Amino acid sequence: MQTEVVLLQRLHLDLLLSQLQAAGYQTVGPVVRDQAIVYDRIQSTADLPMGIGDIQGKGSYRLRSRDDAALFGYVVGPQAWKKYLYPPRQLLMRAEQNSRGLQITAPDQEVPKYAMIGVRGCELKAIQIQDRVFLEGPYSDDFYRERREQIFILAVNCTEPGNTCFCVSMEAGPAAGPGYDLAITEMLETAEPCYLARAGSAKGAELLKHCNPSHAPATLLEKENALWTAAAAQMGRSLNPEQASAALKSGYESTHWKDVGERCLSCSNCTLVCPTCFCSGVQEVTDLAGTSSERWREWDSCFSLNFTLTAGRPIRQSPGARYRQWISHKLAFWQDQFDQSGCVGCGRCITWCPVGIDLTSEIEALNALQTKT
């Protein structure tokens, strides 16, 4: 595998995209839609959000114009890559009553082959966390596996973290860790950005060969290193995962949950934007004659009142109890379950919470309350 760092220009990125498309990949990446950066199909670098950045804060997100031609000069938006590997709606099976009796069939769907362009370090780690949920243990998920086995990941190392980011605390960035096929760093030294690229797999190395790339000069490598160091120092927030886990375990009965419950709308935004959340529900959809039905899996959330409907009533009735469940699983019990945190510090749940609830501040408040008592 090629591990050297090479220098690419924008035309090389277009060449990589066409090579991926020729190999049968659907190339998906960041695009501007409805005043946000979301992930959708892209054909070439012309579809990327050139010269667009964003400003994020608690419950706020705005696009801004940059004064350069950066293609990847934004922080993560409201969508996570999970929508490609674990779609919001998935047909599980069909059942039909006919002259031969009840016929159950598995969906005959073509499995898309995605090349994900612009995956950040925190997002790559989130995919690896979902891998553990969907692929490990006695009940792995074939729908996820089929998609996951054929993706191509082009990661983009982050050099400008946002105000709600804390990936450094969660050891998930700013540079992408292992698991990518190709990783690039966008360098904005000149009017036309250039890219330092590394292959992380044989597929990535093979693809790079088509660009006939030149070696990256040492001066650019030094600058890249300085950018990563600066990015790590510019995180908008921080969290100590061990302290958070301890505070949550000892603060189960804290009065703080009542306080959060008075602010939380139970809207589920935080779970839907979170790249690691994976809860779902199952819906049966029958035809009017009652002779056939489809079973669909749909994203659900631990903030939905009926998510824990048991023996006719929900177990977690108050918003505070539901918030406690979410944050405790994410930052404490996930650790016990998977030996790692369920949070990668992407900050989406902070940005997209309509009332600005920030899990790092909630941990601080819980800690402060426990110190006082």
Query: Comparing C-alpha atoms, which of 233, 200, 196, 199 is closest to residue 218?
Result: 196
Asked if 265 interacts with ligand SF4 (CB under 6 A), we say yes
User: x-or-dash pattern for ligand SF4, window 309-328, by CB under 6 A?
Assistant: --------------x-----
By three-state DSSP, how is residue 91 classified?
strand
Number of residues that bind ligand SF4 (CB under 6 A): 25
Tell me the closest approach of the beta carbon of residue 169 to ligand SF4, in angstroms: 10
Q: How many residues belong to the chain?
A: 373
Torsion (CA) 140, 141, 146, 152 in degrees, nearest 10: -80
Q: Which is nearer to ligand SF4, 79 or 157 (by Cβ)?
A: 79
DSSP letter assigned to residue 245: H
Which of 31, 188, 220, 267 binds ligand SF4 (CB under 6 A)? It is 267
In this structure, how many other beta carbons lie within 10 angstroms of the beta carbon of residue 166?
Answer: 23
Residue 163 DSSP label? T
Report if residue 343 touches ligand SF4, rule: CB under 6 A: yes
x-or-dash string of contact with ligand SF4, 352-371, rule CB under 6 A: -xxx-x--------------
Which stretch of DSSP H or E encloses residue 92?
strand 89-98
Q: Is residue 268 close enough to count as binding ligand SF4 by CB under 6 A?
A: yes
Take residue 223 and report the two structure tokens written for it. 């600058």
- CA dist 41 and 135 (Å) reads 26
Phi, psi of 13 (to 5 degrees): -60, -40
Residue among 366, 331, 349 at smallest CA distance from 250: 366
351 binds ligand SF4 (CB under 6 A): no
119 lies in the binding site for ligand SF4 (CB under 6 A): no
Binding range to ligand SF4, per CB under 6 A, among 215-223, 228-236, 279-287, 349-357: 349-357
Residue 12 or residue 237: which is nearer to ligand SF4 going by CB? 237
- Could you tell me the smallest distance in angstroms from the CB atom of residue 146 to ligand SF4? 25
Among 303, 316, 329, 367, binds ligand SF4 (CB under 6 A): 303
Given phi > 0 = left and psi -120 to 50 = alpha, else beta, which region is 307? alpha
What b/e string do you get for 129-154 counting C-beta neighbours within 10 Å, with b at 16 or more? Answer: bbbbbbeeeeeebebbeebbeebbbb
For the CB of residue 108, give the shortest distance to ligand SF4 in the complex, in Å.
34
Choosing from 344, 358, 363, 366, the residue that interacts with ligand SF4 (CB under 6 A) is 344
Query: Contact between 275 and ligand SF4 (CB under 6 A)?
Result: yes
Nearest Cα to Cα of residue 196 among 233, 228, 161, 157: 157
Tokens read off for 357:
């609830």
Measured from the CB atom, the residue of 7 and 343 that comes closer to ligand SF4 is 343
Kindly state the smallest distance separating residue 360's Cβ from ligand SF4, in Å: 8
Q: Which stretch binds ligand SF4 (CB under 6 A): 43-51, 186-194, 205-213, 268-276?
A: 268-276
Is 330 one of the binding residues for ligand SF4 (CB under 6 A)?
Answer: yes
Site residues (CB under 6 A) for ligand SF4? 264-270, 273-276, 303, 323, 330, 343-349, 353-355, 357
